[in-house]
């Protein structure tokens, strides 16, 4: 039977089922029915639909999801506004320059991420500070790869440091501890990550090529190779009690055969207090250790990092051997309102704090309140390198109005060894989703 006969038979059957009479067919109903049947047959033949309807929801961010869950998209971002005042000894200001009180936008980012057809995902994030659209994350990936877990290709963070890999929106203090000076943040390459032993442990390896803020790399840039393992020996009470142990390492080959490291005293408005300047070097090996213990509202966290810099002898720098630079931080935090820190067992990092009650005005909920204290130190002295030694004491108070908004207050006592001290009073207003 040819197509015309097939359509005619289907048309007559449809007309009978829908109670159409001959008059209706003669008056144009036949053409409409024929078009409808052709559309139905196209669907039966497996032709793709014109679009996938998405459901919109708010889950601490804007979420879009198909009915079957195969396509899941998220639109988000963060805004952080900082304010700081300084009170420094004259000897310190003579050494590093005047400390100017003021305000700045610390971060202003937007991102778009998603999972496509369950096993593929992507993420793109930009930061708009400084009048430029600086590229942060920009990668695609696949999940549930046998033995390997998740594979990502593009621009991403190297697998090093718990504070670095946990989003800055979830930190207990306005700035990372002083050892963050060793972090290198976003570069281009490939990363592989997996959670094993019923998500009690994770491992990750990556090879990234050093790039600028737009993801571009010159031909002289080298690859950084990183690896990280974590284990959660304790995880119970629905995540209210847990312990994290981690170790990571990175091998870097500095561009132009020079390595430099320096840091400000845990304030985005402060200049660098310590810096090595350029060190002739062919290779730098970093190692880091991580520890967190959380029991209900109480938490203790610490990291230690060490950089072993292979010195390269030059006419201006007549030294060889290895210089060892290191730093650490340790802090304790406590939720006065009974909340607890959350843990992402898939990646061995922190999650979002959810207040027991959101702030809704007097007598209707006060949000979550947290206090924290930290000791942090960075030593960049090891003959012949003389970068300085800095120690910070920081006291913080955090007010979480709801899961997406909080106010932070930090007092930092910065001590630059053999030079002088500075008092830093600062606050941050933050919104992220």
Residue 20 has pLDDT above 80, yes or no: no
Kindly state the average pLDDT of the residues 154-171.
Answer: 95
C-alpha–C-alpha distance, residues 260 and 181, integer Å: 10
Kindly state the average pLDDT of the residues 196-214.
Answer: 93
Q: Are 193 and 202 in contact (CB under 8 A)?
A: yes
Q: Give me the pLDDT at residue 167, please.
A: 87
Stated pTM of the model? 0.84
Q: Which residue has better confidence, 164 or 22?
A: 164
DSSP state of 220: T
Q: Give me the pLDDT at residue 42, please.
A: 54
β-sheet bridge partners, residue 55: 65
Outline which parts of the chain fall under CATH 2.40.160.10.
78-107+170-432
Residue 250 has pLDDT above 60, yes or no: yes
Cis bond before residue 384 (omega within 30° of 0):
yes
What is the overall mean pLDDT for the chain? Answer: 89
Question: What is the dotted CATH code of the domain comprising 78-107+170-432?
Answer: 2.40.160.10
pLDDT-wise least confident of 46-50, 64-68, 97-101, 394-398: 46-50
Q: Give me the pLDDT at residue 43, please.
A: 52
Q: Give me the pLDDT at residue 106, please.
A: 96
Q: At 242, is the pLDDT very low, low, confident or very high (cuts 50, 70, 90)?
A: very high
Q: Give me the pLDDT at residue 131, please.
A: 79
Tokens of 328: 């650490």
C-alpha–C-alpha distance, residues 101 and 81, integer Å: 14
Q: Are 139 and 151 in contact (CB under 8 A)?
A: no
Residue 26 has pLDDT above 50, yes or no: no
The pLDDT tens digits for 285-341 are 999 999 999 999 999 999 999 999 999 999 999 999 999 999 999 999 999 999 999
Q: How far is CA 306 from CA 14, 181, 195, in A?
A: 78, 11, 26
C-alpha–C-alpha distance, residues 220 and 357, integer Å: 53
The pLDDT tens digits for 118-154 are 899 999 999 998 878 899 999 999 999 999 999 999 9
Q: Give me the pLDDT at residue 41, please.
A: 57
DSSP H helical ranges for 18-138: 22-24, 30-44, 90-96
Kindly state the average pLDDT of the residues 423-427.
Answer: 98
HSE-up of residue 83 (Cα within 13 Å, Cβ side): 7
Q: At 166, is the pLDDT very low, low, confident or very high (cuts 50, 70, 90)?
A: very high
Q: Give me the pLDDT at residue 130, please.
A: 80
C-alpha–C-alpha distance, residues 155 and 152, integer Å: 9
């Amino acid at each position: 039977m040819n197509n015309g006969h097939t359509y005619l038979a289907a048309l007559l059957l449809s007309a009978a089922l829908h109670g159409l009479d001959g008059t209706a067919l003669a008056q144009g109903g036949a053409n409409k029915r024929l078009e409808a049947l052709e559309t139905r047959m196209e669907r039966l033949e497996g032709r793709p639909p014109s679009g996938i309807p998405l459901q919109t929801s708010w889950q601490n961010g804007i979420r879009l999801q198909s009915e079957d869950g195969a396509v899941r998209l998220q639109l988000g971002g963060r805004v952080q506004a900082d304010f700081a005042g300084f009170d420094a000894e004259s000897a310190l200001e003579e050494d590093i320059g005047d400390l100017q009180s003021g305000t700045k936008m610390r971060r202003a980012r937007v991102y778009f991420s998603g999972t496509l057809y369950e096993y593929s995902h992507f993420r793109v994030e930009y930061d708009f500070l400084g009048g430029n659209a600086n590229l942060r994350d920009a990668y695609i990936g696949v999940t549930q790869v046998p033995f390997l877990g998740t594979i990502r290709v593009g621009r991403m963070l190297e697998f090093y440091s718990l504070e670095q890999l946990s989003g800055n929106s979830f930190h207990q203090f306005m700035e990372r501890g002083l050892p963050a000076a060793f972090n290198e943040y976003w570069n281009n390459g490939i990363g592989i990550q997996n959670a094993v032993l019923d998500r009690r442990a994770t491992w990750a390896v990556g090879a990234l090529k050093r790039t600028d803020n737009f993801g571009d790399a010159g031909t002289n840039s080298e690859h950084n190779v990183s690896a990280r393992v974590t284990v959660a020996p304790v995880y119970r009470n629905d995540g209210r009690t847990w312990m994290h142990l981690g170790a990571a390492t990175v091998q870097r080959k500095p561009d132009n055969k020079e390595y430099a490291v320096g840091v400000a005293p845990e304030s985005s408005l402060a200049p660098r207090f310590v810096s090595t300047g350029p060190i002739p070097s062919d290779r730098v090996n970093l190692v880091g250790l991580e520890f967190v213990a959380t029991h209900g509202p109480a938490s203790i966290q610490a990291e230690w990092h060490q950089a072993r810099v292979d010195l390269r002898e030059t006419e201006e720098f007549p030294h060889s051997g290895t210089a060892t630079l290191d730093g650490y931080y340790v802090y304790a935090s406590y939720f006065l309102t009974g909340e607890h820190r959350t843990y992402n067992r898939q990646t061995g990092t922190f999650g979002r704090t959810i207040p027991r009650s959101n702030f809704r005005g007097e007598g209707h909920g006060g949000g979550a309140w947290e206090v924290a204290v930290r000791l942090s130190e960075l030593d960049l002295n090891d003959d012949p390198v003389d970068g300085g030694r800095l120690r910070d004491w920081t006291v913080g108070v955090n007010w979480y109005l709801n899961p997406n908004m909080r106010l932070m207050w930090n007092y930092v006592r910065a001590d630059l060894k053999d030079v002088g001290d500075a008092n830093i009073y600062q606050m941050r207003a933050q919104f992220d989703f």
